[in-house]
Amino acid sequence: MSALSVALAAVIGVLVGAAARPMIFARSVPSPASSRSRCPHCEHGILDRPRPLPASGRCPRCAGPIGPTAISTEVTMGAAFAAVAAGGATGWFAAAQYWLAACGITLAMIDLAVQRLPDVLTVPACAGTLVLLTAATVADEAGSLARAAAAAAIVTAIFLLLALVAGMGLGDVKLAPAIGALLGWTSWKSVLWGTAAGFLLGLVGAVLLLASGRGRRTQLAFGPFLVLGALAVTVTAS
C-alpha cells in the first residue's frame, strides 16, 4: 500500500472522527438515560443544530468538558484508518475493516466515558460488518462467509457465558458478532488470536489501573480492548 493511500486514509479517518463527536457526546450518559443534547454544565443546546462539535472537547459557551479530550477522537480514528490502509486489504473486506474501526472507536470512546456500549451503535456495527462480508462473498473475495458466521456465533456464545459467570457487560456481548465475523473471515487462527489479544490487552489495562491506585474504585471499560485486539489481528492478517 502506497504512502499516499495511507495518508489519505488517515485524513478520512480524522474527518470521520470529527463526525463521530456528536454521537459520542449524545450517548455518553449513564444508564438508564439513552442520550443527551445539552451541555451538562450550562444547559447550552449542543445538538440543537446539526454541526460538528469543537475538536477541543469543550462547550462553546461555558468551555466545560463535553466529550473526549481535545482531538483524541480525530487522532485515534485517523490512526486506525491509516493502519487499516497499511494492512493492504482491498474491496468489501477492507470496507468491513473500516466500518468496524469507525463503529468500534466511537463505541470505545463512549465505553471509556460511561462504561456502556449502546445498542444504537452495536447493532449497526454487527449488521454492517455482516452485510459487507456478504458483499465480499458475492464479489468472490478471498475469505469464508460461513466461517465468519460460525466465528460470530462462537465468540458471542463465549462472551455471553462470561457475562453470566464473570460479569462481562452485555454491551460487549452485543459487539461480539461483529468482532467474531471480521476475524473469522480470514481464518480460525485470527479468531483465536484476535479474541485473545482483546483479553490480554484488557488484563494489561486492569493491572495498570490497579498500579495507579484506582483499580478498586474504577470500573474497567473492556470494549476498547476488544476492538483494538480485533482490529490489530485482522489488519496484520490481511
Q: What pLDDT was estimated at residue 219?
A: 60
Q: Cα separation of 219 and 210, whole Å?
A: 11
Q: What's the helix, strand, coil split of the chain in %, to 5?
A: 70, 0, 30
Q: What pLDDT was estimated at residue 185?
A: 96
What phi-psi label fits residue 53: left (phi over 0), alpha (psi between -120 and 50 degrees) or beta?
A: beta
Domains in the chain: boundaries: 1-88, 89-238
Q: Cα separation of 59 and 50, whole Å?
A: 15
- Look at the chain and count its residues: 238
Q: For each of the chain's 238 residues, which pLDDT tens digit applies? A: 688 999 999 999 999 999 999 999 999 998 888 899 988 899 888 887 777 788 888 888 898 988 888 899 999 999 999 999 999 888 999 999 999 999 999 998 998 888 888 999 999 999 999 999 999 999 999 999 999 999 999 999 999 998 899 878 888 899 999 999 999 999 999 999 999 999 898 888 778 777 766 554 456 677 788 888 999 999 888 6
Q: What pLDDT was estimated at residue 214?
A: 57
C-beta neighbour count of 165 within 10 angstroms: 8
| CB burial of residue 181 (10 Å; 0-12, 13-18, 19+) | buried
Q: What pLDDT was estimated at residue 49?
A: 74
Q: What pLDDT was estimated at residue 184?
A: 96
